[in-house]
Amino acid sequence: MPPKKSIKVIVGLGNPGPRYANTRHNVGFMVVDKLAERFRIGITRSRFSGLWGDVNIGDDRVYLLKPQTYMNRSGQSVGGFIKYFKIPTTSMLVIHDDLDLPLGRIKLVRRGGAGGHRGVKSIMEVLGTNEFNRMKIGIGRPRYNEDIEGYVLSPFYADERKTLSKVLDTAVEGIVLVVREGLERAMNVVNAFKLEDEKKRAE
């Protein structure tokens, strides 16, 4: 049984630069930015091919990392960071988008495959393990027959933005719960949330 308070670094996945800032693939960045905003800290230090900062959540010091390598080389930044700070992979929480979950769903998992996500795949390849915690943020599937690459690199639909705002807030609360009370407790709470619009779920 892992220690209750074991998370030492929160990694949000995304692509750097204004071109990608509001795209679905950058929802990991969005969550980490929202967390930093809540605790009024900056993610401005530049090293390890990433931007990073740290925050105290209760009695725990937690690092926040946004790799700046582009998604498919995220492992380069993550690997260097956790090696320098001597953080075990099991004390890392990686936040990323997930096509197989609808917008409004968040899923915490302890391990698993990459599921086609290039950022997660890169981390697994560099670290040589899938033994790290993940927070999957649902982005759903294309409505209008867009190709997958174009879809994930596009902004959310206009009528999704209200739900997205709720998702980001809930994800932040979930992260705080993970740090303070452990992954198992947080999984029981966060994985049960269904924040998507009721009308859309009925359609």
Provide the 3-class DSSP secondary structure of residue 46: strand
Q: What is the DSSP string of 51-109?
A: EEEEEEETTEEEEEEEE-S-GGGHHHHHHHHHHHTT--GGGEEEEEEETTS-TT-EEEE
> Is-contact 12 29, C-beta < 8 A?
yes
Burial classification of residue 166, based on how many CB atoms lie within 10 Å of its CB (0-12 exposed, 13-18 middle, 19 or more buried)? middle
Assess whether 96 carries a catalytic annotation: no
Taking Cα atoms as reference points, which of 73, 70, 92 lies closest to residue 82? 92
CA 170 – CA 15 distance, rounded (Å): 22
Beta strands in the chain (DSSP E): 9-12, 45-47, 50-57, 60-67, 92-98, 106-109, 133-138
Which residues 6+ apart lie within 8 Å of 170 measured at CB? 106, 190, 193, 195
Given 8, 25, 117, 118, the catalytic residue: 25
Crossing angle of the two packed helices 27-39 and 161-181, in degrees rounded to 10: 60
> Which residues have a catalytic role annotated?
25
